[in-house]
Amino acid sequence: MTELEKQMGAPGFWDDQEAAAPIIAELKALKAVVAPVTELLAGIEDLEVLFELADEADSPDDLQDAAMQEQTLCGELDRLELRTLLSGPHDKGNCYFSIHAGAGGTESCDWAEMLMRMYLRYFERNGCKFHEIDRTDGEEAGIRSITLKVDGAYAYGYLSCERGVHRLVRISPFDSQNRRHTSFASINVLPELGDIDIDIDYEKDVREDTYRASGAGGQHVNKTDSAIRLTHTPTGIVVQCQNERSQHKNRASAKKMLAAKLYQYEQSKRDAELAKLYGDKGEIAFGNQIRSYVLYPYQLVRDERSELKSPHTDKVLDGDIQDFIDAYLRHRAGRNVKTPAGDASK
């Protein structure tokens, strides 16, 4: 962190925004690791001083304040421990976050919009920045699908815990007979993998062949070996260009085509990696949900994986979902699931 901060303080650093961006991103990622530790250590030192003063003064009120600060620090320590469970190659980075309405028409579209509001509140609570990539609205209400780019420390690590089918049970506001309806929507989360650099070793990996162009093009084109064929031997990709009069121009065009084809090839490999990360969410329907939100005949949010429950449906739908994310992280790591403070439902 110190070395990067020195680089950022150097004259002219901010003149080249493109070169500065990766350094700023790296410093931000490092601060996300270091700052919670240093803040926790400072809090422990302050608590020790507070307790000593309260003990010397024999003040019950000050001792009570110290006890409350201790609970706060224990919560921060627990949060720090959970961060150690986010050790995947993409967990620290940004992500693409998508919501898709399931079967059920307007009901599911409305539920998808409720989920969108819940997650937007969660992003705001956690200091995540987001912007809309794509959106399809429902025919009557709600949204059919939406994709957001989410930027923040450990955005992918935390939000990947939400991937799957979410189920809602309620009295439908779209049913004139006030019947109970069940709606489904799915969450998909993919990491931002960054740009792909194409580095081509033309001397070692590319074979160049020249030949006489054929077809239309004039007397000069058809009578000289101006056409260029490039073969990328590691992948077997072949490109050729014969449209220009000059062999030099044909070679330049062929190199651009080869770079484009290799980029497409690298994208296909990246898509295969993303497919592995995506996993199998299953059909967006009953029996595949990871979490149920019941608003009628009783109020309860239940995570089907960690079995954590909360009767505070209004708070959960207002973005207070960190307890469920933490519970799943512990469940995934084989640790005990802790009950949120004040929740006696589990």
Averaged pLDDT for residues 140-160:
92
What does the pLDDT look like over 242-300, one tens digit per residue? 766 778 888 888 888 888 788 778 877 777 776 666 555 556 666 679 999 999 999 99
* Residue extents of the structural domains in the chain: 2-83, 95-195+284-332, 202-276
- H-type helices in the chain, by residue range? 2-9, 17-57, 60-83, 106-125, 155-159, 202-205, 219-223, 247-278, 313-316, 322-332
CA distance 256 to 263: 11
Q: Which of 80-84, 285-289, 314-318 is predicted with the least confidence, judged by mean pLDDT?
A: 285-289
Query: Which CATH code fits 95-195+284-332?
Result: 3.30.70.1660
CA distance 309 to 134: 33
Q: 202-276: what fold?
A: Double Stranded RNA Binding Domain (3.30.160)
Q: What is the pLDDT of residue 281?
A: 56
Confidence of residue 11 (pLDDT cuts 50, 70, 90): very high
For a pLDDT cut of 70, what percent of the chain falls above it?
A: 87
What average pLDDT does the chain have?
A: 86
CA distance 166 to 186: 6
Q: How far apart are the first and last CA of the chain?
A: 42
What does the pLDDT look like over 158-217, one tens digit per residue? 999 999 999 999 999 988 888 899 999 999 998 887 655 678 889 899 999 987 765 444
Is residue 8 pLDDT above 50, yes or no?
A: yes
The angle subtended at Cα 126 by Cα 121 and Cα 128, nearest 5°, is: 85
Query: Which CATH code fits 2-83?
Result: 1.20.58.410
Q: Answer with the residue of higher pLDDT: 58 or 279.
A: 58
Phi, psi (deg, nearest 5) at residue 142: 70, -160
* CA proximity to 226, closest of 241, 206, 208: 241
pTM of the full structure = 0.68
What does the pLDDT look like over 236-252, one tens digit per residue? 998 878 766 778 888 88
Confidence of residue 4 (pLDDT cuts 50, 70, 90): very high
What is the three-state SS of 267-309? HHHHHHHHHHHHCCCCCCCCCCEEEEEECCCCCEEEECCCCCE
